[in-house]
Amino acid sequence: MTLCEYKPGLEGIPATQSSISFVDGKQGILEYRGINIEALAKQSTFLETSYLLIWGSLPTRQELADFEYEIRYHRRLKYRIRDMMKCFPESGHPMDALQACAAALGLFYSRRALDDPAYIRAAVVRLLAKIPTMVAAFQLMRKGNDPVQPRDDLDYSANFLYMLNEREPDPLAAQIFDICLTLHAEHTINASTFSAMVTASTLTDPYAVIASAVGTLAGPLHGGANEEVIEMLEEIGSVENVESYLDRCLENKSKIMGFGHRVYKVKDPRATILQDLAEQLFDKFGGDYYYDIAVALEKAVADRLGHKGIYPNVDFYSGLVYRKMGIPTDLFTPVFAIARVSGWLAHWKEQLGENRIFRPTQIYTGSHDAPYIDIEKRHSAADAEILAGMIH
């Protein structure tokens, strides 16, 4: 076997073959199952898109109706999951709560039959149905309130906003939220999807697969960036401060949140759509003070870092959209997770179709034949550093 060059972050190394989605990072194109994201955002609902991602083709009217019906039926949570959530600290991050709840589903649905299409379908339905209920329930419980039961007369997105805000959402807000879910549903082999695939490749249960992906999505270099964008805009504070903020970032070599992407070297097509959705919301419900700062920052970053291909990614404008819907900042990443569950499940199903356990290699950089030191003669790492300093 020829030894490959080590690439930190596996940049450019194919880790799988997949027909689920495609990104052209130079032209800013994203397709799900060959269909352009703009067409799906305009014409398809999130559940229709999820069906496309997971089963490979757009559903017929009947297939979609059946899928929606099953999801409505499974939206409720076992009371024991709600009881478990009551024990979570209110100060805990909702992504940690979601990860724990997703993993807990494995306790209730422990039968594992990965070669049974009915089992796969039930797991898909259960996860798509229950994850939004978990996110909304934790939000209410941490305020000391009882969770709101799902409403069968509301569609997927309207029901989530209803459970979260305890009132029926404005139809435009619900429609835009649904588009946001479609935009976040899938994005080739990103960190959380890779995590899902590695976990899936061990043939564990789908709840463990989704729990591991949720944990990976939470980090600030991945899904967690959408929260940090709002914190950054708050820190900048005004359009006048944009250039000096950028100067400081470049001087300290710190990353500007919501910018840059391993694959896109132009503006992420999802950021363009999200910016437009934010403007639609501002037209109807009034503007957001931070929007002008965001636009000024986008321009300044393009001027200074455009030559490196650093442009807004999906996380840059999404927070401004969610804020307008009354979604708290620390729920932005759980909302991302609600959407990405469909992509993770699509990759889980694809992985099972041609599974081989992920077991890459490494380049060992340690020593060999090191002496075994008796416990009495050992120095702590800190002492060893002090000793080394005294010797120099």
Q: Which residues bind ligand CMC (CB under 6 A)?
A: 9, 190, 221-223, 225, 255-262, 305, 308, 310, 313-315
Residue 241 C-beta: closest distance to ligand CMC, Å:
17
Asked if 281 and 176 count as a contact pair (C-beta separation under 8 A), the reply is: yes
Task: Please pick, among 93, 268, 315, 347, the residue that the annotation labels catalytic.
Answer: 315
Tracing tokens 């300044």 back to the chain, one arrives at 300
Q: Of 134 and 249, which CB lies nearer to ligand CMC in the complex structure? A: 249
Residue 283 C-beta: closest distance to ligand CMC, Å:
26
Residue 246 C-beta: closest distance to ligand CMC, Å:
9
Active site residue 205: no
Q: Of 159 and 318, which CB lies nearer to ligand CMC in the complex structure? A: 318
Task: Please pick, among 93, 184, 187, 261, the residue that the annotation labels catalytic.
Answer: 261
Residue 315 C-beta: closest distance to ligand CMC, Å:
5
Residue 301 C-beta: closest distance to ligand CMC, Å:
7
Q: Of 102 and 257, which CB lies nearer to ligand CMC in the complex structure? A: 257
Q: Of 48 and 298, which CB lies nearer to ligand CMC in the complex structure? A: 298
Residue 219 C-beta: closest distance to ligand CMC, Å:
9
Q: Of 22 and 109, which CB lies nearer to ligand CMC in the complex structure? A: 22
Tracing tokens 């249960």 back to the chain, one arrives at 205
Q: Of 35 and 274, which CB lies nearer to ligand CMC in the complex structure? A: 274
SS (H, E, C) the chain: CCCCCCCHHHCCCCCCCCCCEEEECCCCEEEECCEEHHHHHHHCCHHHHHHHHHHCCCCCHHHHHHHHHHHHHCCCCCHHHHHHHHCCCCCCCHHHHHHHHHHHHHHHCCCCCCCCHHHHHHHHHHHHHHHHHHHHHHHHHCCCCCCCCCCCCCCHHHHHHHHHHCCCCCHHHHHHHHHHHHHHCCCCCCHHHHHHHHHHCCCCCHHHHHHHHHHHHCCCCCCCHHHHHHHHHHHHCCHHHHHHHHHHHHHHCCCCCCECCCCCCCCCHHHHHHHHHHHHHHHHHCCCHHHHHHHHHHHHHHHHHHHHCCCECHHHHHHHHHHHCCCCHHHHHHHHHHHHHHHHHHHHHHHHHCCCCCCCCCCCCCCCCCCCCCHHHCCCHHHHHHHHHHHC
Instruction: Give the residue nearest to ligand CMC (CB).
Output: 260
Contacts of 236 (CB under 8 A, 6+ apart): 242, 245, 293, 297
Residue 171 C-beta: closest distance to ligand CMC, Å:
28
Active site residue 155: no
Q: Which of 212, 95, 204, 203 is nearest to 142 (CA)?
A: 95
Q: Which residues are catalytic?
A: 261, 315
